[in-house]
Structure 1
Amino acid sequence: MNLFFAKKKEKATPKDAIINLRETLSMLEKREAHIQSKIDAEVKTARANLTSNKRAALLALKRKKMYEGQLEKMSGTRITIEGQAMSIEAANVNLETMKAMERGAAAMKLIHKDLNIDKVDQTMEDIRDQMDLANEVSDAISQPQLFGPEMDEDELLAELDELEQEELDKQLLNSGRVPVSLPKLPAASVASGSGRVPVRSPVAVRSPVAVRSPPVAEHVDEEDDELAELRESMGMAM
């Protein structure tokens, strides 16, 4: 046995203190129930000896009063212990809350250790630059001139008109009629309602060789001869 060094007392944790107080309350409740049973027994004894033995009845009432005094003190002790247990529980909740908040603050410090507003701004600027670059690349890819030179729509329409005129000339020559070239007319305006609507000039009728219309002949033979000469001059076989 060590007589020189006293055993160091262990620190009571809030959990242990609350458990101890709850056990004490349970003991007090059992003690109160036991005392209450004795009070009921003394009352029963007093009633039994009320007429036959008044002295025994008085002693029973005295013991009843003593038990009631103990019961009252025990009730006050219970109230005190319950209040202490509730205070410890509330303090323990506050302690755990503060510990959790401290751990949260430490975690935030660790996160923000290598992070500041300048880095955030730079990161956002880099993101915007990359998004702008992605949009420019997408626009460049979607441009049609990558698949060939840009074409003028007016030139395409003019070429289309020429093809239509050539097709018309072929049809007229095959049918035996002489194609006539019409002069180009400037754009005119015609009245339409309350305003004037521009009208596109008709497409000039082109012919491989400009030929005047022959004069009206009185005989069919003369027309046939002229038509034969026209075909010969155009290099067409009879």
Structure 2
Amino acid sequence: MSKISKMFKGSSSSGSGSSSSSKSKHRSRTGPSPQEAIHRLRETEEMLTKKQDYLEKKIEQELMIAKKNGTKNKRAALQALKRKKRFEQQLTQIDGTLSTIEFQREALENANTNTEVLKNMGFAAKAIKGVHEKLDLDKIDSLMQDITDQQEVAQEISDAISRPFGDQFDEDELLAELAELEQEDLEESMKNMGKLPSVPSAKLPSTRPSHRTQSKKRVEDDADMQMLAAWAT
């Protein structure tokens, strides 16, 4: 059995003889809060970190003593190296302890965070439940029906406003009437193309100039020629 087990066994046996009132007081005591435990762990981490710095300095000092004495004073050098080894062992133990404390602190912080999250989620769930309890499903259905009716009324009003004024005609009927008019024009054009123009009965005027007009023109030309001859002489 280890020393720790023996110690706990001895403490438990010695505590068995205590009065019942002390047991009830011990059971009634509540554990520390997560915040208090986290604070204690942080303080312990700070203390061990300072102890680490102290041991590292002591290791450097003992190493310098061993180097300084060397072969001149082997006994002093060996004692310095032994102290250095003890300090290094303590430093290794502190490193392991810090790792354990850090793991425990992180686990406690996560547990505390999860507790707060669950607490707030429960608070929010109660708030939502309270809101839903105040709602009347019949009123919700009635409200949604009113909204639907109002949307239909708004659509009808929009359709009425956008409807054009004046007489409305069927576009198919108008297209049929237009096709009939085009067919009548086509038939009329075909009839006109089948008829030939008639020959006029009256005599057409002759395009040749008359004899009197030719004689008058010739006399004028002769007079002009005589004037030019006289001017040249």
| Normalised TM-score (structure 1) | 0.53
Change in CA separation of 1:12 and 1:191 when aligned onto 2, cut-off 3 Å: same
Change in CA separation of 1:138 and 1:54 when aligned onto 2, cut-off 3 Å: closer
2:110 pairs with 1:96: no
Q: Which of 34, 54, 69 pairs up with 2:89?
A: 69
Cα displacement (A) at 1:86: 0.8
Distance between the aligned counterparts of 2:92 and 2:128, measured in 1?
A: 54
Distance between the aligned counterparts of 1:194 and 1:18, measured in 2?
A: 106
Distance between the aligned counterparts of 1:69 and 1:60, measured in 2?
A: 14
Distance between the aligned counterparts of 1:195 and 1:88, measured in 2?
A: 105
2:62 pairs with 1:42: yes
Identity of aligned residues (%): 43
In structure 1, the residue matched to 2:200 is none
Aligned length: 154
Q: Which of 36, 39, 47 pairs up with 1:16?
A: 36
Bigger relative CO (Cα 8 Å, ≥ 6 apart): 2
Cα displacement (A) at 1:141: 9.4
Distance between the aligned counterparts of 2:126 and 2:72, measured in 1?
A: 81
Instruction: Please state whether the residue corresponding to 1:12 is helix, strand or coil.
Output: coil
Structure number having the greater helix percentage = 2
Structure number having the greater strand percentage = 1
In structure 1, the residue matched to 2:72 is 52
Instruction: For structure 1, list consecutive stretches of 5 or more residues without a partner in the other structure.
Output: 144-150, 154-187, 197-238
Distance between the aligned counterparts of 2:69 and 2:167, measured in 1?
A: 132
Aligned AA (1:87): A
In structure 1, the residue matched to 2:9 is none
Change in CA separation of 1:15 and 1:189 when aligned onto 2, cut-off 3 Å: same
Change in CA separation of 1:53 and 1:189 when aligned onto 2, cut-off 3 Å: closer
Q: Which has the larger radius of gyration?
A: 2
Change in CA separation of 1:140 and 1:64 when aligned onto 2, cut-off 3 Å: closer
Please report the RMSD computed on the Cα atoms of aligned residues, expressed in angstroms: 3.7
In structure 1, the residue matched to 2:52 is 32
Distance between the aligned counterparts of 1:54 and 1:117, measured in 2?
A: 95
